[in-house]
Structure 1
Amino acid sequence: MHEWPWDAAGARAWVDGSLAAARAARERIDAVNVFPVPDADTGTNVALTLAGGAAAVHLLDPAASVPGVCGALADGAARAARGNSGIILGQWLRGFAAGLDGDGADGDGADGRTAPQRLGAVLGRAADSARRAVPDPRDGTVLTVAREVADRVARSDGPDAARALTRALADAREGLPRTSAALDVLRDARVVDAGACALLVVLDVLAHVLRSGRAPRPDELDLAWLPAPATAVVPGPAGVTGGAFEVMLLVRPDGGRAEQQADHRPGGREGDHGVEDDLAVALAHVGDSVAVADAGLLRHGHVHTDDPAAALAVVPARQVAQAVVRRLDLPPADPGLVIVTPSPGMAAWFATAGAVTVVRGPGAVVDGLEEQVARAAADTHAASVVVVGVGVPAGLGPVTADGVRLDVLPVPDDGTAAVACLALLAGGRDRAGAAAREVLARLRTASSGSVQGPEPGARQSARPDPGADACPVPASAAVVAAVRRLRAAHPDGQAVTLLHGTAWTATDAAVAARELERDGLDVVLAGPAVGVTWWAGLD
């Protein structure tokens, strides 16, 4: 779209400038985040989303076209998207790229449209695409603002697209309090929509690039219009009105077949298989705040739910490229905690303990573990993170590409991970990793078919029977007897963690727990875990 004026260098300047501006505006946007839930992270989520898009652009051939640059931005942003706001922005970028790709003009205005009309059409395509990401779009949000800006640009007089966009953005900023008041939750909180603020920051950078051909310098960023309330929104249980957990699913609709990868062109399609709708409908049955973005060969779904396991089950495991679960009503902690588990049923338990939980379920064709852990570590918003998980190599890290320090604690199974998680919570944040290692060094375990304890000076690890879930349901009395044998050999044991599978249920585990509590033990229940009928750890 040369009439803007616009070229690939300008497109790259917009990418880098948008990321810098989003990072600069992050705290102010976080502070007004109350919709869809008051978790104070929209600014952070948008910055992380754009960082993924910028990384994808930086991998392109230097000769990539404008649609190629914007398509890669859309692919990378949608794949890296965080939260509802990130998904919507990723899908807005998808529509923007599709609008560029389908513009059809050769740059000389031969189609009769002015530059503002052409830019308005592209922004309109982006606005439509963002609205389709949400099965229940709400007026007064970023979706309304995206449409208003596009319409204002398209109606502008004169040939100057940069001037038209600049004026449209000034009108949108001035009218943002009135626009946001259309949504009752924003009106009651007397704040503007955080997602709309983020989009306007990105479009401000676009306007600057169109005017000058370069990204704005830090001293040229105009962020003074962003609200700065005296009291920032803080995550907490009182503000969460929908599902308590956020689940984000990166899905391969076709199972990731290689022959389809060969035909993929970044930004080249906009949900032409209708998979977004199918995924959105499935997620809407298990929660709210649903949004789905097209991430090229992948689809990225977001939902708030009280049943993470149900959300993780909406697509076949073989199609899951990435699954991340976190609790919405817990404030950030430092160090942060990342858990890697093969058990979808354990996601809620680990997330409730404060972990950003990566689920690598049975049969899932997941992406590289290092990338998964780095994403989850960034989601903790902490400078240092303890990583506990099944299959996590000890050599992972020690620092992610984003500069987050990792303290990696590999464990053999979910039972040991649960014990480590409890130790981290009880041991104090200043020595979290050391506290967990001390507990695991003295841990004695029993599982269906085995009773184990540590060798002198060695850390204990349990080895459940590979086919344990197929075993007959054990009587709770057998579990109690196994724990009592452990305690007889190690009378200093004071607490036991009981992990149940799918055959030995939570109800069965509760019966065993009551019996063990009569013995004077503190008992914690967890589950359901895969690959084991039952597991017990004595500390």
Structure 2
Amino acid sequence: MLDTLDAPTVRTWSRLALTALGQAREEIDALNVYPVPDGDTGTNLYLTVEAAAAAVERCFAEHAGEPDLAAAAAAMARGALVGARGNSGVILAQLLRGMAEVLARGGDPALLRQALQRAAEAAYQAVAEPVEGTLLTVAAEAARAAAGTAGGLAETADTAYRAARTALMHTPEQLDVLAEAGVVDAGGRGLVAVLGALADAVAGQTPMGPVALRQGLGATGLAESCEGHERPAGPGHPAFEVIYLLDAPDDTLPALRARLGTLGDSLVVGGGDGLWSVHVHVDDAGAAVEAALEAGRPHRIRITHFAEAAARAGKRARTAPEGRAVLSVVSGTGLAELCEQAGSAVLLADPDRPPASAELAEAVRRCAAREVVLLLNDPELRAAAGAAADQLREEGVRIAVLPTRSPVQGLAALAVHESARRFDEDVVAMTSAAGATRYAELAIAEGESWTMAGVCQAGDVLGLIDGDVAVIGTGLAETGAVVLSRMLAAGGELVTLVLGEGVPAGLAEELVALARKQRPEVDTVVFEGGQEAAPLLIGVE
């Protein structure tokens, strides 16, 4: 357990926060009834933290050794600021900036408590008209509880997380619109996920489970309680959401805030040191941009017309390109060629850096098809793909994300793909084929670790079946044989072996012979995949 927060822990925090928000994204979107019931708070927070996590990774890549805490925390805050989406994203970016200001002095428990306090203060300062019962209240209660502790780093982070959970459950008592809908605040729910990830990172634990989201409501109750809340904004709300980055001297901000405050509401201005993220809801979007031009240089300008968003999406759907495409995400050149031969477009991913939602969305756009089936081939991509799919659907693309967990499942799905079928029928057939394929892989352990099969040491060969470590061995051939034998014990008709980079000669022949001996009726196919991360992939259909 850590005594002092350090850069690797910030890196872990950013990764766990992204995972937590990815898992809760749709739930948070469903909770979004304030300030505008447009159902995008979860997606906005996910995209904001995705940018923050990417910035931390770049920070580590740019340092020959390991960056210090100040650099990692600053990178996380700046990444969130630059990638901030929506009201909630800008506030979260300002929270992270406030923490980074204090963590620049160190990461002991006392400074973490001060960082949480500074984060809450910075968030309130960023919002023109703070409202209780929101993310702001959750942040303040978390900081107040943490300040009352005198324990170590883990106790401080855990206390803040638990106080945030409690504060979240009381938000309907503070904001009438939440009470009427029977939900807690969406932004506050997102902050609970981020603080839970911090507590886990400090304690060295796996991500905490989801908190209770509703008071006395199950999933059905939540859906029913949200009926009648129009999406997008109904009467009484400004027509446009305007958000942009602004390069401007700090002393120009008071005048900008005042001007934007007269134009609309939901004004949030976060940042500092010449770079600002501005969010506002207005009826005159042009005036909001003109105000920015008077202060400095606005860029990355995004304007959303709430009332016409659905109509624009429908129009794009009618004018979208025709045809259907399949896009496969793979990491080996051999696998890429196999998918292309099967009629799929390919996004060749870096095994050390999974593609972000923006990369996935752009790859789908390059397919230039009205209907797209996306084969992820990696369970870690589900959250990013979900966020990308939401963006693409607004652009009129009909997209189905098949959460294939291994390239061998993706190959099985491609084998039954038929573009002549109706889209839904094709998706069902591909999903069934992928689901009927058990998958396994061999991996090399990087260090000592506990697994479901026991303790492994650095250099051990791990045999994973359906995602769990089932075998620990010392050689690729012997471990692969044990894994394949166990898989065939449950039956099968076709074995697919995909060889990774640097696999020793003769391995495939040994496994093919084993398959024929154990199950003479089973066909076996061997492909050169060229993937780096897994020396061997096995599929049994």
TM-score when scaled to structure 2? 0.54
| Aligned pair partner of 1:250 in 234, 245, 248 | 245
* Pairwise CA distance, 1:63: 2.0
Q: Distance in 1 between matches of 2:260 and 2:244?
A: 10
Quick one: distance in 2 between partners of 1:51 and 1:332?
26
Q: Are 1:208 and 2:208 matched, yes or no?
A: no
**Mapping for residues 20-31 of structure 1, pairs under 5 Å:** 20-31=19-30
Select the residue among 153, 157, 177 that pairs with 1:161. Answer: 153
Whole-Å Cα distance in 2 between the matches of residues 102 and 354 of structure 1?
55
Q: CA deviation at 1:407?
A: 6.1
Tell whether the 8 Å contact from 2:38 to 2:232 is kept in structure 1 after alignment.
Answer: no
Aligned residue number for residue 194 of structure 1? 186
* Structure 2 partner of 1:150: 143
Worse-superposed segment, 61-70 or 233-242: 233-242
Give yes or no for contact 2:171–2:178 (8 Å, CA) kept in 1.
no
Displacement, 1:128? 0.4
CA–CA distance in 2 between the matches of 1:252 and 1:312?
A: 13
Among 303, 313, 320, the alignment partner of 2:280 is: 303
2:209 maps to a residue whose letter is D
Report the equivalent of 1:9: 8
Alpha-carbon contact 2:56-2:72 (below 8 Å) kept: yes
Q: Is the 8 A contact 1:28 1:43 kept in 2?
A: yes
Deviations 1:393-446 (A, max 9, x none): xxxxxx95133422699xxxxxxxxxxxxxxxxxx977xxxxxxxxxxxxxxxx
Question: Contact 1:99/1:122 (CA < 8 Å) preserved in 2?
Answer: yes
Partner residue, 1:173:
165
Q: Identity across aligned pairs (percent)?
A: 36
1:91/1:278 CA distance change after superposition, 3 Å: farther
Q: Hey, which of these two has a bigger chunk of helix by percent?
A: 2
Does the C-alpha gap of structure 1 residues 175 and 135 become closer, same or farther in structure 2, counting only changes over 3 Å? closer
- Deviation at 1:165? 2.8
Sort the Cα spacing of 1:319 and 1:152 in 2 relative to 1 into closer, same or farther, 3 A: same
Q: Which residue of 1 aligns with 2:300?
A: 322
> Which residues of structure 1 form unaligned runs of 5+?
108-114, 255-272, 339-352, 356-398, 410-427, 431-539
> Structure 2: how far apart are the matches of 1:402 and 1:147?
36
For residues 407 and 335 of structure 1, the distance between their equivalents in structure 2, rounded to whole angstroms, comes to 19
Q: What are the superposed Cα offsets for residues 277-311 of structure 1, whole Å, 9 maximum, x if unpaired?
A: 33322211211111011165421111111111111
In structure 1, the residue matched to 2:67 is 64
Tell me how far apart the structure 2 counterparts of residues 43 and 193 of structure 1 sit (CA, whole Å): 11
Partner of 1:403: 361
2:269 to 292, 295, 302: 292
**1:192 Cα deviation (Å)?**
1.0
Cα 1:249–1:168 shift into 2, 3 Å: closer
Trace 1:198-237 onto structure 2 (pairs within 5 A).
198-212=190-204, 217=206, 220-227=207-214, 228=219, 229-231=222-224, 236=231
Relative to structure 1, is the Cα distance of residues 155 and 275 closer, same or farther in structure 2, using a 3 angstrom cutoff?
A: farther
Q: Secondary structure of 1:324's match? A: strand
Q: Residue 54 of structure 1 contacts residue 73 of structure 1 at CA under 8 Å; is this kept in 2?
A: yes
> In the alignment, residue 140 of structure 1 is paired with which amino acid?
G
Provide the rounded CA distance (Å) in 2 between the counterparts of 1:130 and 1:332. Answer: 31
Kept in 2, the 8 Å contact 1:56–1:72? The answer is yes
Aligned-partner residue type, residue 34 of structure 2? F
Aligned partner of 2:44 in structure 1 is 45
CA distance in 1, matches of 2:314, 2:12: 34
Residues matched between the structures, number: 324
* Letter matched to residue 240 of structure 2: F
Amino acid at match of 2:359: A
Letter of the 1:401 counterpart: E
**1:249: how far off?**
1.9
Look up the match of 2:112: 119
State the distance in 1 between where 2:44 and 2:24 align.
12
Equivalence for 1:385: none
**Contact 1:245/1:325 (<8 A) preserved:** yes
Partner of 2:338: none
Indicate yes or no: 2:139 matched with 1:135: no
The aligned residue for residue 520 of structure 1 is none
CA contact (8 A) 1:88 1:291 kept: yes
**Distance of 2:146 and 2:263 partners within structure 1:** 39
2:289 to 312, 318, 323: 312
Measure how far apart 1:183 and its partner are.
1.8
Distance change >3 Å, CA 21–CA 250, structure 1 → 2: same
For 2:236, the equivalent position in structure 1 comes to 241
| Matched-pair contact (CA < 8 Å) for 2:169–2:184 | yes
Amino acid at match of 2:301: A
Inter-CA distance 230–408: structure 2 relative to 1 (3 Å threshold): closer
Cα distance change, pair 237–56 in 1 and its aligned pair in 2 (3 A): closer
Q: How far did 1:335 drift?
A: 6.8
TM-fit CA distance, 1:172? 3.1
Aligned-pair Cα RMSD in Å: 3.5
Partners of 1:314 and 1:81 lie apart in 2 by 20
Check conservation: 1:7, 1:66, Cα contact below 8 A.
Answer: yes
Q: Deviations over 1:484-532 (max 9, x none)?
A: xxxxxxxxxxxxxxxxxxxxxxxxxxxxxxxxxxxxxxxxxxxxxxxxx
TM-fit CA distance, 1:123? 0.1
- Letter aligned with residue 15 of structure 2: D
Using a 3 Å threshold, how does the CA distance of structure 1 residues 408 and 208 change in structure 2: closer, same or farther?
closer
Task: For residue 122 of structure 1, report the CA deviation from its aligned partner.
Answer: 0.8
Shift of 1:178: 2.1
Q: Distance in 1 between matches of 2:88 and 2:117?
A: 18
Query: Alpha-carbon deviations, 1:46-91, whole Å to 9, x = none?
Result: 0001111112122112521111111111111111111100010011
State the Cα deviation string for residues 366-393 of structure 1 (Å, max 9, x = none).
xxxxxxxxxxxxxxxxxxxxxxxxxxxx
Distance 2:66 2:84 in 1: 26
Conserved in 2, the CA contact under 8 Å of 1:53 and 1:72? yes
Deviations 1:315-368 (A, max 9, x none): 227712221111224566897889xxxxxxxxxxxxxx999xxxxxxxxxxxxx
Partner in structure 2 of residue 258 of structure 1 = none
Amino acid at match of 1:40: G
Aligned AA (1:34): V
